[in-house]
Every structure is written in C-alpha cells, then in structure tokens.
Amino acid sequence: MGLLNNIKDAFNKAEFSVAPNKKLKTISADFKKAFDLTLVFYKGVQIADPELTLNQLGKKTTKEVNTTADGIKIKGSTKVGEAEKMFDKAFGVTVQIKDKSGKNLVPNEITIGQAAREEYK
C-alpha cells in the first residue's frame, strides 16, 4: 500500500504555496488545510509570533528573511526535510513540520504524504 500511496502523492491535487506577504498563522493554517500537518516558524531558536508576516519576521531576527522571493510550492510527494530547506532557501526562515497535533516532529526522510498518513510510527 505504501508504493500506491506514494504514487497518489505525486499526482494529488493538494498543493501548498507560500506568498511572502501572508501572516505566519495564515501560512500555517493553509499548510494544515492542505496536508493536515503543523508548520511551525522560528525566530532564532524560539517559535515566532504567528501574527507576524514574513516581512515583519525579517525585522525581528538576525537571519536575513527574503520577502521578495517568488514563493514555493510543496506537494505531498515532497520530503519533509526538502520542504523545510525550501523555506530556508526561498525566504531565509527556519520551519519545522510537526504531526497533526503539533507536538512531535516528523522525520525529514519521509514525504509530506507519508507524514500526513502517519506512516512513520
């Protein structure tokens, strides 16, 4: 069943995209709606204020946040670690992808789809 699910993930219409002018809480809510997983933004080692936009986050951290980036698109077939790197590369922000409850990190080597189906437990 795992192989079939991975093929479905590649063709699944669910896609998540990020615009740099959105609030962090909106980006996280969109991610939750698309994949039923939790997306957490960090300011240094602390969780960032969800009311901030990516632009505002750039003013609150020593890390340079790129708010002129075109955005990113993530699908269910994208590996968790790759998705987290995409945020860093495109926007210069640190994110972590957690399970549905938002309590536990999901492994970087599995796909977003596998994480959503909890195939790593």
Give the model confidence (pLDDT) of 5-43 as tens digits: 555 555 555 567 787 788 999 999 999 999 999 999 998
CA distance 78 to 73: 10
CA distance 92 to 100: 25
CA-based nearest residue to 110, from 72, 75, 74, 78: 78
Helix (H) or strand (E) holding 102: none
* Strand 46-47 relative to strand 73-75, pairing: unpaired
> End-to-end distance of the chain based on CA atoms, in angstroms?
16
Q: Summarize the confidence of residues 103-121 as an average pLDDT.
A: 93
Give 90's strand partners: none
Residues of the chain with pLDDT > 70, as a percent, come to 76
**Which amino acid is present at 40?**
V
pLDDT given for residue 55 in this prediction: 75
Q: Write the CB contacts of 89 (distance below 8 Å, at least 6 apart in sequence).
A: none
Q: How confident is the prediction for the chain on average, in pLDDT?
A: 82
pLDDT in tens, 81-96: 999 999 888 888 899 9
The pLDDT confidence band at residue 107, using thresholds 50, 70 and 90, is very high
Residue 72 has pLDDT above 90, yes or no: no
Q: What is the pTM of this model?
A: 0.81
Helix (H) or strand (E) holding 66: none
CA distance 72 to 77: 14
Q: Summarize the confidence of residues 66-72 as an average pLDDT.
A: 62
